[in-house]
Structure 1
Amino acid sequence: MPRTPNRWTIPLTRLVEVWAAYCEFRRGQIAPSTYDRDYEKFTRRLKRMQKEAPHLRNAIAIRDWLLEHYSVETSRRTIQQFTAACRWAEESDMLPCNPFAGVGRHLRTPRPSDTNWAAFTLEERDRIIAAIDVHAPYYGPWVRFLFWTGCRPEEAAALKWGHVSPDCRELLISEALPQGQKEVQFTKNYRSTRFPCGDRLARLLREQQAAGFHRDGWVFPGQKGGPMHYTNFQTRHWRPIVKDLVEAGHVAFYLSQYHARHTWITGALDAGMTVQDVSYLARVSTAVIYKHYAARARRPIIPEF
């Protein structure tokens, strides 16, 4: 079917209206942190566009303006969201067609960094824990917990004593507290886990309890008594400590505290746990496990042949 010349037409003012309506529609269906983190930044790009290029009147021109002012990946993600908003508007009889359909098809996604799914070795893990104990001892339990459970930092920050069994032998991981949010929300994939605690982890939890606790209290409180401010910890303590270990040759390369999760998943698979069990305990699909973790080693052993 031949395309009409006006298929891509959408004045910027109309796109702003459609985007605002779409955001309101989506607001109740997604986590507050996702809305604040992702949707707000697309709104800011639209506001900048209104200020600097109010003359834009079609999807092709909007795409090209984005490419002039942002990276290819940022432009691609933005076009992807505008496409979804206009698809919703078309299906809601707000637009006669989707002017962004196919517009972002040829924007290539850059290859992910080699460190995106990298993990520390178990020896490096233990060196990091030991260094934290020396230079930032308050955070030793927090770092151990991340390494020993594969918990996302926002999940560990949301953990309260009401989520821990009386004998410290089981955890309920069902909530997250992303940095900057005042209220807890569901985990990233809306999955929950009853995480069994071995002797090592149970001992850690009992030591945390020894400092005094109540069921509504944080398992890992911040130093000022509120929830753990894990981005502040990463900036002030994790990053300089781990980078010093890298410079000293004790750790191969720098990775963020989030990679404690990757380290646990990789170690669990190497120890012989089934992919299904690791998937459940890490609250991530088996497809992601197979794609990014299974059979991936820092230094693969190549047989002689």
Structure 2
Amino acid sequence: MALSKGIYTHLAINTIKGKEGTFYQLRLNSKFNRKTIGLGSNQLQAMNIALLVDEEITLQLSRGKDVDLDTLKGIVYQEQNKVKEKKYGGIRLIEKDDLVVLWDNYVSFHVSLGGWSETYIQSHIALIRRLLENCPMTKLEQKQELVEWLFSCETRTKQTSKDRLKLIVAAIDWNSKHGNIPRRWGIEYRDLLNGINIKQEKKVAYKDDDTQIDIFKVSEVYQILAALRDDTLARVAGKHKQYWKYATFLWLTGCRPSEAVALKWENVDLNKKRIKICEVEMNRGGQHITRQSTKTVAYRFFPVNDELEQLLLLSGKRTGYVFVNAIGKPISHSAFYAVWNTVLKKLNLHYRVPYQLRHTMISYHSNNDYPLHKLAELVGNSEEVIREHYLRLDIERISLPSIIK
């Protein structure tokens, strides 16, 4: 039985049920002779590992290399070794220093209650599991080191790091109350969390997709776009240029990255000069999530003027996804983020996630006399949100890009 085949490009996951329980197996597609690799008995972990393998295959193909099965097996074994479960006589013994196992216990309990939505499980819950899998600290005694590691990430705000710690602490506290670990651990971690105070930043704390408003200067935006377009900072020809149209579209339209990634040609009408934004695709916690609506409304239309039309006409094939990579596949968030990080670093620009292109576009238009009610309709926000979160910024006066004039 194949599991979640649709979210992978080069493989599927087989579900194998036996006397000892359910196990999962990665199966490559026919192009790779349907080779298989065992993934263990944890479904969420199996899906996460399969996604990593799928991305590695895409990477190898983009570099013109043959897919190396041993490399793929190495990825699987490395990920499996991060979580060790011991079984004796059919009874699982949970080691107190294994945070991933404690997290899985907590999640399994709440999933069984049916109180969490599927989207929440696939996004927030899976994200924390992936975070714990990559965390070098596994012992409960390493609580201070865990906190330092969480807060050391430069691509997350301090508040976001604390929010993720809250979920981890909730899992530890639940396990301590249910006798899986001594009760003192729940108390100690609660006290630790309560002792972390985040100073309110002067910048507006409007959060969307784990970001806060931290906009670019217009000159910085065009620096980034030029570097992508001209491949000036790429070590491999075409590696950066493949994302230029996608990044430019984000800047010109102010749409969410998840909306741009999901945009298909069937929703682009060059005759009527408009784009229908009605789908979302994103990766959260190793899961590929699709939704037939935007974050705030079922759909919205965005006008196509000459500037945007010229960008769209650069694409030869006008079927399927509008934005694809060098091998014709939909844009991968993780691959684009890696290129984005490289470009900003080499340009000596303060790191901000691509979502800030949306914040930048909205901020400049709202503070340069563009009608707020019309702007809100175009970008999928309310006029109240724009007034509250975007009009407090000290922004230079500019001539607006002509995209929505």
Q: Please classify the TM superposition score into its range, dividing by the shorter chain length.
A: 0.5 to 0.7
CA offset digits 1:23-50 (Å, max 9, x no partner): x24426xxx2x33222444886655452
Within 2, Cα distance between the matches of 1:188 and 1:266?
19
Which structure has more relative contact order (CA 8 Å, sep 6+)? It is 1
Aligned equivalent of 1:212: 317
Give the residue type in structure 1 aligned to 2:380: R
The aligned counterpart of 2:290 is 184
Where has structure 1 moved over 3 Å in runs of 4 or more?
15-22, 39-49, 51-57, 61-64, 70-73, 112-115, 180-183
The aligned runs of 1:24-103 (5 Å cut-off) are 24-27=114-117, 32=119, 34-40=120-126, 41=128, 48-49=172-173, 50=175, 54-56=181-183, 62=186, 65-68=189-192
1:276 corresponds in structure 2 to: 373
Give deviations 1:116-138, integer Å, cap 9, x for gaps: 21211222211211111122222
1:51-200 equivalent positions in 2, closer than 5 A: 54-56=181-183, 62=186, 65-68=189-192, 110-112=199-201, 114=203, 116-135=212-231, 136-167=240-271, 169-179=273-283, 180-182=286-288, 184-185=290-291, 186-200=293-307
* 8 A contact 2:229–2:241 mirrored in 1: yes
In structure 1, what is the Cα distance between the partners aligned to 2:182 and 2:384? 45
Contact residue 220 and residue 228 of structure 1 kept, 8 A: yes
2:360 — aligned with what?
263
Change (3 A) 1:18 1:256: closer
Equivalent residues of 2:169, 2:186 under 8 A apart? no
The one-letter code matched in structure 1 to 2:355 is: Y
Normalising by the residue count of structure 1, what TM-score does the alignment of the two structures yield? 0.65
Instruction: Give the corresponding residue for 2:81.
Output: none
Q: Identity of aligned pairs, percent?
A: 24
Contact map agreement 2:243 2:325 (CA 8 A) in 1: no
Deviations 1:152-205 (A, max 9, x none): 111111100111114272111121101254452032234521011111011111
Instruction: Tell me the amino acid that sits aligned with residue 213 of structure 1.
Output: R
Give the alignment's TM-score, normalised by structure 2: 0.50
In 2, the alpha carbon distance for the partners of 1:189 and 1:161 equals 22
More strand by share: 2
Unaligned runs of 5+ in 1: 1-14, 74-107, 301-305
Q: How many residues align?
A: 234
Q: Identify if the C-alpha distance between structure 1 residues 244 and 294 changes in structure 2 by more than 3 Å, giving closer, same or farther.
A: same
1-side partners of 2:249 and 2:304: how far apart?
Answer: 11
Cα distance in 2 between the residues matched to 1:16 and 1:128: 41
Give the RMSD, CA atoms, in angstroms.
Answer: 3.3
